[in-house]
Amino acid sequence: MASLNLFADMLFYPLDTIATRVKSQRTHVSLQQELTKIVRNEGFPSLYRGILTSIPTSFVPSIVYFLLYENLNKMGKKYLGENGLRDKIYLLPILTATAAESGSLAFHLPFDIVRTRLQMNSSHYRYSGILDGLIQI
């Protein structure tokens, strides 16, 4: 599942770049207008600026989520069983999913900030790569 998430993220990365730029505009701009502007002014490869951030923003958080979710469920079932609280097991997925999502976001958000700034290609953020962006932030 994590590898499919990564594949989809990389496949649609140029569209995400265009959408990110459109959302940052103060005036109404269509996706087609923004695509034309990017390709004309910066070149086609600019649509892929920061694509390596797809790994830490989609693949790694997915793995973290599933590992946390599964392990927390196992620990929770064991705890509930040992303490005679088996009738409360229906609450477990709600709690473990929330904790797993929080842990996943802790990995996702710093890289997503770098990703968005790389996609913007702004003169304010001149990162040479992912690690450079994290260090500067």
Name the pTM for this structure. 0.74
Q: What is the mean pLDDT of the chain?
A: 88
**127 pLDDT exceeds 70?**
yes
Pick the more confident residue, 130 or 100.
Answer: 100
DSSP 94-106: HHHHHHHHHHHHH
Residue 55: name the closest of 136, 114, 99 by CA.
114
> What tokens were used for 122?
């702004």
Mean pLDDT of 44-72: 90
Evaluate whether 104 touches 62 at the Cβ level (below 8 Å): yes
> Poorest-confidence range of 2-6, 66-70, 112-116?
2-6
CATH number of 7's domain: 1.50.40.10
Quick one: what percent of the chain has pLDDT higher than 90?
46
Domain extent at residue 120 = 2-136
Residue-wise pLDDT tens digits, 77-108 = 888 777 777 777 778 889 999 999 999 999 89
Mean pLDDT of 22-29: 87
> How many domains does the chain divide into?
1
Long-range Cβ pairs for the range 21-25 (8 Å, 24+)? 21/119, 21/120, 24/120
